[in-house]
Amino acid sequence: MDEKQPVQPDTDGTAGNKEQMIIFVIGDQEYCIPILSIKEIREYEKPTYLPHCLPYVEGAINIRGNIVTVVNLAKYLDVPAQTDNERRVVIVIESDEQTTCGLLVDGVVGITDILLSDVQPISVEGGAAELSGLVTVGERVIRILQLDAVISQLLGQEAAGTATAPTALT
Amino acid sequence: MDDILKIFFEECDELLPELERGLGELSDDDASKETINAIFRVAHSIKGGAASFGLERLVRFAHTYESALDCLRSETVAPNDEIVRIFFSAMDVLSDLVAEAKGTGDTVDDERIDDNIKKLKSIIEMGNGPEEPASSESSPVPENFEPVAFDFGGFDFDEPEENAEGGDFSVQFTPHSDLYVRGDDARNLLLGLKELVPEEHQDGFHVVCDQEKLPASLSELPAEEALLSWTVTVPQAGGQVTEEQIREVFDWVDDVCDLTITMAGGNGPDGGGEGSLPPLEEEPASEEEAPQAQPQKETVAPTPAPKVAPKEEKKPAKHVKKAEQSPSIRVDLNRISMLMDMVGEMVIGQASLESVLEKSGALDNQELLKSLSVMRSLTRDIQDAVMAVRAQPVRSVFQRMHRVVREASNLAKKDIALVLEGEETEIDRTLIENLTDPLTHMLRNAVDHGVESPEKRREAGKSEQGTIWLSAYHRSGRILIDIKDDGGGINRERVFQIAVQKGIVAPDAQLTEDEVNELIFAPGFSTAEKVSDLSGRGVGMDVVKQAIQNLGGHVSIKSTPGQGTLFSLSLPLTLAVLDGMLIECRGSTMVVPVTSVVELMTVKAPQEIHIIPDGTRVILVRGRCIPLIYLADALTLPWVEPGDKPAAKRTEQEDQLIVLIVENEAGARAALVVDGIRDQAQVVIKSIEKNYRRIEGISAATILGDGSVSLILDVSTLIAATTKRVDTRAMEQLVRNAA
């Protein structure tokens, strides 16, 4: 998680360092991600199940000829999702390395400018590596999602080197 | 300029394999004059190109090479093994020099160059180099060029009338110096003339060069004057060639040259009487003349001679093919890849159009149905055509392996012959590019570890020369590449010991022969006791296996102690599309590659299903015991309805199972239990790993007509996962009991 997130204050937090974020809800919690990482937002359609997948992976969908994995953010973050939600959407994001993935959320709330100096970092100690910080907008507490973490876990990068070795011989 | 230089290097990349092939034929003793001419031409073209770019080191070497080849061509020296070896080794220097000039290779050792030049010169001496002044022997570079200045790539000076034929045009062409000042080249014009003549009449096309005006010695040669003139015999080819056309060729230069066009048949310059043509069957050049006539033509056409020499006719088809090559253009590979991608999208689009129409019920319309099916077949044809554009014979990779084996066997001090088979087998270009490294490594390995030393071979009663076969062929929609040696085979005990030493496997592990063979592919495994130059760093075979797997292929090994080892690579023809069978399994549609499906059948449950002690279920198909794979369970597909039972339990109550017998490349079979079979279709392969990770049992994904994602099964890993659990001995026991 040492990769620099756009939302991390890269200066000493002087005011005026803004980032446009998109806010979405999962259950009753609000989250946000940088708007520039988003490729599109689309209706939820039933994805194709991927065998042996991580529990929070919904499956794969076709986006103009590309196979894109959809992550159920509620399961990923272990947050109860809204029940009977007809308006669930998939936010399609793209990482710096051109990896694309879809995030299944309960709904998009809106767009807001967030001052980087307002971001309160979260200690990883609390087991919240999925988030890169918190920010308060008025009365609301908005959690900033760590996108790199989502993607690297999806790609299984932590075990990329060893996963392919022949295992049959032990 | 850089562009032209690039073209020159591209040409070199094409010419060098041609040289190698020619030399290979020389060593096989089936070399015709045409072969020698062909390799001579290569050396000449490289020299010529290099000279115009001022690549001196290359020129100097290519020149000596050419001179030495000239001795073969003039038959003053007969090729023997030793001489061919010299040419081979010098060819390696030549290609290294090209690489050096290109900037992709290291600087070539001067010592190595000199050493090879010395050897080449010994050949020239043997033939007492026809035009080579004795003094040039020890002279430094510049003098070395001298003889070449007059060596116009092997002009023979026939009398023009010998080739003249009634009814042909005789074109006398004497360029002025101004023609060259303008940057034109007589060669272009002669080539232009040649192009006028239809292929079947090329026999009657002759060029004779008049060198009368040339001074007797080079020092007197006025460098900037045009001294040569040509007499060209152009057959009318039944009226297909007219005087007007000939004049058109010289249109741009008619003020800087003297041009006379006469009818050789005695007609006046303007007599274009088409009716007066002699019968075309009349061969202008008889068989005896052919060798003489050819060198002339070759100066006109440095590219593969369109004419097949009479002697060539009994040669394998590949030579004829080469000779008949149609005109070609160079296309940027990216453009083809783009085209390929778009065609892939088109196939999907076509399928989705069909499925939308089907849903809307519009397919009752017969006309619509008809035009739709026309579109479908067109789409498929386009796809095939694009694939054909990218397909290339594996020859380009295979040819390179000669050198690999040559160098490796020199280092290992072994005498090894490499035999290539099936170089014409075509395969997608992307695969070809990615094959070079794994093949190089496997061949080095075969030289280093496969073939024994000459002493050992003699003890074993084999001939001292080892042989490695590299062959390619198509089988059931895949390309198979075999690397076979006649060496000692894999020493399984030693392999096992080493694997234990290196901690790859537990000392008490019970492994089958195949499993021991597989150990070679384990990372960090190397049987070499000391690290040699060739291989033996222990980073080899696992990398090879990985590379082949990345291409969608598999490696298998067969080894017989004392007789040799066979590595078999199985690769898809292309990385882009696949013929698949669409199956239903617990609500999902999946694709099984048709190439791996052996047969479809229904099985009566539970009578026909046998359960062996470890719980694996097997069926008997014509006496062969095949393990069942409940696909839905194997892939842990989610239940359609909650509370559903595992497929293995559930299906036992049903009376009929639909079963797909599938086979992997090694011939191991398994029976996939599925819910239904839907369709057969060509699907476009899409990577899952790009945006996700590798999934056990799934090789890729595709997009169906309705736009949904469907997974393509990896039959090999599915079978491997199952057969590993099933002990074959237990199965044999069962068969015996059942019988």
User: Do B454 and B477 reside in the same domain of the chain?
Assistant: yes
pLDDT, position B133 = 43
Which domain CATH number covers B472? 3.30.565.10
Q: Specify if A32 maps to a domain.
A: yes
The reported pLDDT for the residue numbered B644 is 54
Domain count, chain B: 5
Domain of B349, CATH number, reads 1.10.287
- pLDDT exceeds 80 at position B711: yes
Amino acid of residue B739 = A
In a domain, A24, yes or no: yes
Confidence class of residue B154 from pLDDT cuts 50, 70 and 90?
very low
- Least confident range from B39-43, B297-301, B382-386: namely B297-301
Provide the pLDDT for residue B622.
Answer: 81
Q: Between residues 47 and 66 of chain A, which touch chain B (CB distance below 8 Å)? A: 47-53, 57, 59-62, 65-66
Identify whether B644 is part of a domain: yes
Q: How far apart are CA B259 and CA B171, in angstroms?
A: 7
Q: What is the pLDDT of residues B717-737, one digit of tens each?
A: 888 877 665 444 444 444 555
Q: Which of B572, B590, B621 is the last residue of a domain?
A: B572
CB contact under 8 A, A67 and B701: yes
Task: Report yes or no: B731 and B611 within 8 Å, Cβ to Cβ.
Answer: no
Report the pLDDT averaged over residues A87-111. 89
| Residue range B635-662: mean pLDDT, rounded | 68
**Chain B positions in Cβ-Cβ contact with residue A59 (cut-off 8 Å):** 709
Instruction: Specify the number of domains making up chain A.
Output: 1
Residue A80 is assigned to a structural domain of this protein? yes
Last residue of some domain: B512, B539, B572? B572
* More confident site: A31 or B686: A31
What residue numbers bound the domain in which B373 lies? 333-392
pLDDT in tens, A115-129: 888 888 876 665 557
Range in A143-147, B8-12, B76-80 with the lowest mean pLDDT: B76-80
Q: CA-nearest residue of chain B to A157?
A: B693
Instruction: Examine the domain organization and report whether B6 and B111 are in the same domain.
Output: yes
Asked whether residue B630 falls in the same domain as residue B674, the answer is yes
* Greater pLDDT, B290 or B498: B498
Asked if residue A40 has pLDDT above 80, the reply is yes
Per-residue pLDDT reduced to its tens digit, B397-453: 888 888 888 888 888 888 888 898 988 888 887 788 888 888 888 888 888 888 888
For residue B691, the chain A residue with the least C-alpha distance is: A99
What is the average per-residue pLDDT within A27-47? Answer: 90
Flag whether B593 is in a domain.
yes
- Banded pLDDT at B234 (limits 50, 70, 90): confident
ipTM: 0.77
Convert the pLDDT of each residue in B259-295 to its tens digit.
Answer: 888 776 544 444 444 444 444 444 444 444 444 444 4
Instruction: Quote the pLDDT of residue A52.
Output: 85
Tokens of B189: 């014009």
Q: Tell me whether residue B280 is in a domain.
A: no
In the predicted structure, residue B468 carries a pLDDT above the cut 70: yes
Hey, how many other C-beta atoms are within 10 angstroms of the C-beta on B610?
A: 18
Tell me the chain B residues in contact with residue A101 when contact means C-beta distances shorter than 8 Å. 691
- CATH number of the domain encompassing residue B192: 3.90.1170
Please answer yes or no on whether A49 and B588 come within 8 Å at the CB atom: yes
pLDDT the model gives residue B307: 41
CB pairs under 8 A between A and B: 98
CATH number at residue B720: 2.40.50.180
Whether B148 shows a pLDDT value over 50: the answer reads no
Cβ B703–A170 below 8 Å, yes or no?
Answer: no
The minimal CB distance from A52 to the residues B690, B695, B724 is found for B695
Over the stretch B540-568, which tens digit does the pLDDT of each residue have? 677 787 778 767 677 888 888 888 889 99
Q: What's the confidence (pLDDT) of residue A38?
A: 92
Whether residue B586 is found in the same domain as residue B525: no
* Host domain of residue A150: 18-156
B300 and B166 both lie in a single domain: yes
Please tell me which residue, A170 or B115, carries the higher pLDDT value.
B115
Q: Residue A130's domain is classified under what CATH number?
A: 2.40.50.180
Contacts of A165 in chain B (CB under 8 A): 522-523, 542
Same-domain check for residues B387 and B426? no
Is the Cβ pair A61, B709 closer than 8 Å?
Answer: yes
Q: Which of B525, B577, B688, B692 to mutate: most A Cβ within 10 Å? A: B692
Sign of the alpha-carbon dihedral angle for A60, A61, A67, A71: negative
Chain A residues touching B344 at Cβ < 8 A: 65
Asked whether residue A3 is domain-assigned, the answer is no
Please tell me the predicted confidence (pLDDT) of residue B617. 84
* B170 in Cβ contact with B233 (< 8 Å): yes
Q: What digits encode the pLDDT tens for the residues A63-77?
A: 877 889 999 999 888
Residues B109 and B247 in one domain: no
CATH number of the domain that residue B96 is part of: 1.20.120.160
Encode burial over B258-284: b for 16+ CB neighbours within 10 A, e otherwise.
ebebbbbbeeeeeebeeeebeebeeeb
Q: Which residue has the tokens 């004497």?
A: B174
Question: Contact at 8 Å (CB) between B204 and B284?
Answer: yes
Whether residues B403 and B368 share a domain: the answer is: no
pLDDT at B299 (0 to 100) = 41
User: Would A161 be classed as within a structural domain?
Assistant: no
What was the pLDDT predicted at A79?
Answer: 86
What is the C-alpha to C-alpha distance for residues B427 and B572, in angstroms, rounded to an integer?
8
Find the mean pLDDT for residues A18-47: 90
- Pairwise CA distance, residues B583 & B635, whole Å: 14
Instruction: Find, in chain B, the residue whose alpha carbon is nearest to that of A53.
Output: B695
> What pLDDT does A23 receive?
93
Q: How confident is the model at residue B482 (pLDDT cuts 50, 70, 90)?
A: very high
Chain Cα centroid distance, residue B512 = 36
Query: Which chain B residue shows the shortest CA-CA distance from A55?
Result: B638
Is residue A40 included in any domain, yes or no? yes
Nearest beta carbon to residue B518 from set A49, A164, A166:
A166
Q: Taking CB atoms and an 8 Å limit, are B695 and A166 in contact across chains?
A: no
Q: Mark whether B549 and B647 lie in a shared domain.
A: no
- Length of chain A counted residue by residue: 170
Domain boundary among B108, B130, B149: B149
Q: Examine residue B6 and state whether it is found in any structural domain, yes or no.
A: yes
- What tokens were used for A74? 């509620």
Say yes or no to pLDDT of B685 above 70.
yes
In the prediction, which pLDDT does B531 show? 43
Contact flag A66-B638 (C-beta cutoff 8 Å): no
Contacts of A3 (CB under 8 A, 6+ apart): A148
Taking 70 as the threshold, does the pLDDT of residue B528 lie above it?
A: no
Structure tokens at B440: 């190089």
Which backbone phi and psi does B79 adopt, to 5 degrees?
-70, 130
Average pLDDT, chain A: 78
Q: Is residue B566 domain-shared with residue B583, that is, in the same domain?
A: no
Query: In the predicted model, what is the mean pLDDT of chain B?
Result: 74
Q: Which pLDDT value is given to residue B737?
A: 52
pLDDT tens column, B173-221: 888 877 777 777 777 778 888 877 777 777 778 888 877 777 777 777 7
Q: Which of the listed ranges A36-50, B189-203, B327-341 does the model predict with the highest average pLDDT?
A: A36-50
**Is A30 contained in some domain?**
yes
State whether A154 and B692 contact (CB < 8 Å).
Answer: yes
B345, B637, B724: residue with CB nearest A51: B637
Q: How high is the pLDDT of residue B479?
A: 84
Of A154-158, B46-50, B622-626, which gets the smallest average pLDDT? A154-158
Closest-CA residue in chain A for B690? A99
Residues B449 and B354 occupy one common structural domain: no
State the pLDDT at residue A31: 92
Question: A94: which chain B residues are within 8 Å (Cβ-Cβ)?
Answer: none
Arithmetic mean of pLDDT, B223-243: 77
Residue B683 placed within a domain: yes
In a domain, B322, yes or no: no
Q: What is the mean pLDDT of residues B357-383?
A: 85
Q: Do residue B690 and residue A65 have CB atoms under 8 angstroms apart?
A: no
Tell me: do B558 and B632 sit in the same domain.
Answer: no
Across residues A121-147, what is the average pLDDT? Answer: 78
Q: In Å, how far from its chain's centre is CA B730? A: 45
Answer yes or no: is A35 within a domain.
Answer: yes
Domain-located, residue B327: no
Beta-carbon contacts of residue B331 (< 8 Å; ≥ 6 apart) = B389
